[in-house]
Amino acid sequence: MRSLKALRRFYARYITASAEVVDERIVDAFANVKREHFVGAGPWHIPVIGGYIVTETDDPAVLYQDILVGLAPDRGLNNGEPSLHAKCLAAAAAQAGEVVVHVGAGTGYYTAILAQLVGQGGHVHGFEIEPDFAARAAENLARFANVTVHARSALGVRLPMAHVIYVSAGATHVPAAWLDALALGGRLVLPLTPNERLGCMLLVTRLSEAAFAARIFSTAAFIPCIGARDEQQSSAVAAALDAGSTDEVRSLRRGSEPDGSAWCIGADWWLSTAAPTE
């Protein structure tokens, strides 16, 4: 007999194994959070190359696959791919008691998973710029005492100091304000997505006041992060992705002139193939 609980657990195990994620806390978080509470009533629009297909059923069982789900298909806004998020959540490594800023909370599914990971002693601030999504997220997350939904952009606002900044919309650069908001040891997980081509997932870890380790850990396609897009930096990221191996990236630099180790040069930041320095 069909059991949604069992389907959810298998889905959690399947997407984490596909993403080579071994953190059992992430498996449990995916197994515990009910996707059907966040993606609206079915039947659902499922994005495929060139458009959407509609599910034949409104049985929530269909949601427990490694598929995106349309949240507002008319605007091309979707609930993201679970296995990609499993990878991103593993990179972010949110721990119990930590403070997380989630940029692009949508209707709250991955915000809820982050809330599970930080537990009651931690807090997740979900920022969502689309007013209708922010309202849905606030409603969907009302029973999570450790979540605050901010119905506004995560740019142009003073962010709380964060152990994790988890970005779910594509930027062409690394906003200085987000680096400033990272606590020592804090992690920024950001889709770096140029206009011209497939982008990548960047993990930046603050090692000290001025030293940042950096690593690219996946390819990525995301809808644009409003306020974090710039033509020139998009071209720089596209050229870097075209030219060089993403495995070579080791640090993010700011406040210094790019040297021969530069892998990608942004406006006030650059990625280096050399180890992090102060």
- As given in the structure block, the two tokens for residue 136 are 């849905």
Buried b or exposed e, range 189-226, using 16+ CB within 10 angstroms? bbbbbbeeeebbbbbbbbbeeebbbbbbbbebebbebe
Residue with Cβ nearer ligand SAM (110 or 270)? 110
* Binding to ligand SAM in span 20-79, by CB under 6 A: 77-79
* Binding to ligand SAM in span 141-200, by CB under 6 A: 153-155, 168-169
Which residues contact residue 196 at a Cβ distance below 8 angstroms, ignoring those fewer than 6 apart?
234, 235, 238
CA distances from 104 to 126, 153, 185, 270 (A): 7, 8, 23, 24
User: Is 80 one of the binding residues for ligand SAM (CB under 6 A)?
Assistant: yes
* Binding to ligand SAM in span 214-233, by CB under 6 A: 222-223, 225-227
* d(C-alpha 100, C-alpha 245), whole Å: 30
* d(C-alpha 171, C-alpha 104), whole Å: 12
Which residues contact residue 130 at a Cβ distance below 8 angstroms, ignoring those fewer than 6 apart?
72, 75, 77
Q: Minimum CB separation from ligand SAM for residue 274, in Å? A: 31
Q: Minimum CB separation from ligand SAM for residue 156, in Å? A: 9
Task: Please work out the total of residues on this chain that contact ligand SAM, with binding judged by CB under 6 A.
Answer: 26
User: Is 116 one of the binding residues for ligand SAM (CB under 6 A)?
Assistant: no
Choices 42-50, 106-114, 178-186, 200-208 (CB under 6 A): range interacting with ligand SAM: 106-114
User: Is 88 one of the binding residues for ligand SAM (CB under 6 A)?
Assistant: no
Residue with Cβ nearer ligand SAM (85 or 123)? 85
Can you give the binding site for ligand SAM, defined by CB under 6 A? 77-80, 103-107, 109-110, 127-130, 133, 153-155, 168-169, 222-223, 225-227
